[in-house]
Amino acid sequence: MNTTSSPPRELPRKLGLVTGMAVVVGVIIGSGIFRVPSGIAADTGNLTGIALVWILGGIVALFGALSIAELAAMYPAAGGPYVYLREAYGRPLAFLFGWMWLLTTPFSWAAQSLMFAEYLGFFVPIPVPVQHVIAAVLIILVAIANVRSVKLGAAIQNVSTIAKVLAIVGLSTAIFFLAPGGEANPLNAEPMGAAKWSGIGIGLIAALWAYDGWQNLTTMSGEVKDPQRNLPLALIGGVLVVLVVYLLINTAYLRALSVPQLAASKSVATDAATAVMGRAGASLIGALVMLSVFGTLNGSILSSPRVFFAMAEDGLFFRTVGKVHPKYETPYVAIAFIVVIAVIYVLMRDFMQLAEGYVLGVWPFLALCAIGVFILRRKRPDFPRQYRVLGYPVVPALFVLATFAVVANALYAQFLSTIASILVTLVGLPLYYLWMRWQRRARAA
């Protein structure tokens, strides 16, 4: 009797609604909320502008989640946007998304792990070379947990996300209670001011970076139980939770710091906590940033490799990357592939170099996915749709317009770097045709 069995090609559905929301919230809330508020304050210059940027950014992210949720429910398979772009536009554009994902994912993992190690140095003096080693080890350990079991990775995500949200809410509450009252409070003394629309446009670029990450859940669609129900609920609910948390923490920042102080701050969360709690506040922020970044790293390692797994299944990437572990039922080769690249980045580059190496990103592709909602409704009108975009066609149309407006503003404000990022992404097109030619030759040999 033959006792051997081939490794399963499908990833089993083991993830529920709670984990889905934990991935959305945990991946979005990373380092951005501790870094970008000062830049947004500098760009807008007053309370009205700051509030508008964070609210508009949250609405854009929510409209994106509302739109992409229809596609996630239609195609509950590994790969997320890769699958939606393939179905709406064809394989070349889907490959281009995969190329962009390959460029950004290792940079993201490396930057997150390095930030964790840098903040660990706040508590224990650690030489810079050792910080790089700690960051590399962190990536490897989190990856091992996610290879060992998707349920273990999900449990880590659930716990870290709940702890992160509770910690941010607790910090915000403490600042509210401990900050001075009356006219001495910066929030009461600061005039609202008229919104500067040019500053709001620039500030939205930073805000959307802080709201980025909700799409990661869709890459795991093939592992979500009852996907037609749980994927839309997790996407929409998760973004709403983040919007509330972001508004809460930004209001707390402004209760501790004036707008000029906020704009000039290099570490806004640390400065706000120190202003009302002293050095103990700085220590709390250091621990909170480590927790936040750890949760984002785990969520990204849990989700991002599924894009390369899906590409391998389609023959648009090395077939080996599509292997599923015969015992653990996880895409272990896809995870290991990105881990190797991320560790190389960590050992060779510092945080600022990693940040500068981040290309244009996923938002233009998400806008194309939203356009795909219109395309697929025409191409496949009879395809089962248990969830339809709320507010169609206005909601997806507004998401597309807002996303491309932000990209256009980036071209205006940072022309050379944005063009360079776009060109690096477009390199994926000739690579696609080279890959297809190589595949044809391999089959003919």
146-164, pLDDT tens digit by residue? 999 999 999 999 999 999 9
Q: Which domains does the chain have, with CATH numbers?
A: 17-444 (1.20.1740.10)
- Evaluate if pTM is beyond 0.85: yes
- Residue 236 banded pLDDT, cuts 50, 70, 90: very high
Can you give the pLDDT at residue 399?
Answer: 95
Can you give the pLDDT at residue 352?
Answer: 46
Please give the share of the chain, as a percent, with pLDDT higher than 90: 53
Tens digits of per-residue pLDDT, 354-386? 444 444 578 889 999 999 999 999 999 999 998
Q: Which residue has the higher pLDDT, 348 or 291?
A: 291
Residue 409 has pLDDT above 50, yes or no: yes
Three-state SS across the chain? CCCCCCCCCCCCCCECHHHHHHHHHHHHCCCHHHHHHHHHHHHHCCHHHHHHHHHHHHHHHHHHHHHHHHHHHHCCCCCCHHHHHHHHHCHHHHHHHHHHHHHHHHHHHHHHHHHHHHHHCCCCCCCHHHHHHHHHHHHHHHHHHHHHCHHHHHHHHHHHHHHHHHHHHHHHHHHHHHCCCHHHCHHHHCCCCCCCHHHHHHHHHHHHHHHCCHHHHHHHHHHECCHHHHHHHHHHHHHHHHHHHHHHHHHHHHHHCCHHHHHHCCCHHHHHHHHHHCHHHHHHHHHHHHHHHHHHHHHHHHHCHHHHHHHHHCCCCCHHHHCCCCCCCCCHHHHHHHHHHHHHHHHHCCHHHHHHCCCCCCHHHHHHHHHHHHHHHHHCCCCCCCCCCCCCCHHHHHHHHHHHHHHHHHHHHCHHHHHHHHHHHHCHHHHHHHHHHHHHHHHHC
